[in-house]
Amino acid sequence: MNTLLFPVILAGGKGERFWPLSRKDRPKQFLSLDGSSRSLLQATADRLIKLGGGWDSLWVITSSQIAEGVRQQLPDLPVENLLIESEGRDTAAAVAWTSLEIKQRYGEDAVIGFFPADHWIANEEAFAHTLSAATQLAASTAAIVTLGIKPTFPSTGYGYIEQGEKIGSFNELPAYHVNRFTEKPDRETAETFLSTGRFSWNSGMFVFRAGVVLKELHTHAPEIIEPLEQQGPDIYPQLPKKSIDYALMEKTTLAYVLPVDFGWDDLGDWNAIERLLKTEENPNVELATHVGLDTQGAIIYASNPEDVVVTIGLEDVVIVRDRNVTLVVKKERTQEIKQILKILQSDSRFTDLL
């Protein structure tokens, strides 16, 4: 089966946990975090245009604040394939609007895939093989297919998918009905999940036919899909703010999972840099000019190559120097960067730091 996939990049996120490098005018998806010359958004587009349809089949949905930046990053993207949200309403609204647009242009049997702009993929050949399988399943079945990542450790930062009955194989990959989705568990629960061999991480990547997902949205999230159908994107600011997981995936009976292993990271915060770039030869991950004494387990980044970061006696910290801000945080507390941003937002002195 050679069904064309219409990939959609979800590029509206703020990437707040990568502050101060990620800011309003330069969100995480515009950054290169793996030492390459391509931003996360560009690398995602590079992967997806290879799936068969080129730039004409690729879509991007983003916010009005960074739409111009997306155009600059992806100059070959057709203008009509860029959807601009007047106000961010989370992923359920983004999926609903884009699916409506693609259905209108290509029909309800068009197979659509949704992909966050900020994921890192190690094995692109395996990724393409997986997407071919997901496309076959979605084209042949009334299915909402999610890619489940094989867990490598008992993460408490990811959601989990429990696989149920096997329904067959597609492109030599087994597919299962989803028993349930579970939000971020505590460590003991995560360890139990891994011991069963039935759970995978929820990657946030989905594949389905336009007609299937729109019908399911009518059933489970009419408060989102019906205003969009009746009034168009002008109603966007009034739509409820819900994730596609909460609005649909946790409720639908049409969820299927492909457990996959192609080397993946969602680059959620600064600790992801260590997972990508840590080597046995160096006690630290250094994306800066660093002079250290008795420093280990540190992640050190400076956007200006002329800046020198000097450390003495530090362990398990993140140090980020960007423009007029220096961040120093223990690695286990990087999730709290978002709380610091709320403090900065409440003080007019710090507006230019956001």
Looking at residue 86, its pLDDT comes to 92
- Residue 275 backbone dihedrals phi, psi, to 5 degrees: -65, -35
- pLDDT the model gives residue 129: 94
- Residue ranges in the chain whose pLDDT is less than 50: 1
Sign for the pseudo-dihedral over CA of 62, 243, 276, 290: positive
Instruction: State the DSSP string of 154-201.
Output: --SSS-EEEEEEEEEEETTEEEEEEEEEE-SPPHHHHHHHHHHT-EEE
CB contact set of 148 (below 8 Å; sequence gap of 6+): 161, 163, 200, 201, 202, 203, 257, 258, 259, 260
What is the pLDDT, as a whole number, of residue 48? 96
Q: DSSP 3-state assignment of 15?
A: coil
What are the tens digits of pLDDT across the range 248-292? 999 999 999 999 989 898 888 899 899 888 888 899 999 999 999
Q: Write down the pLDDT at residue 216.
A: 97
Q: Are 289 and 270 in contact (CB under 8 A)?
A: no
- Per-residue pLDDT of 174-202, as tens digits, reads 999 999 998 888 899 999 999 998 999 99
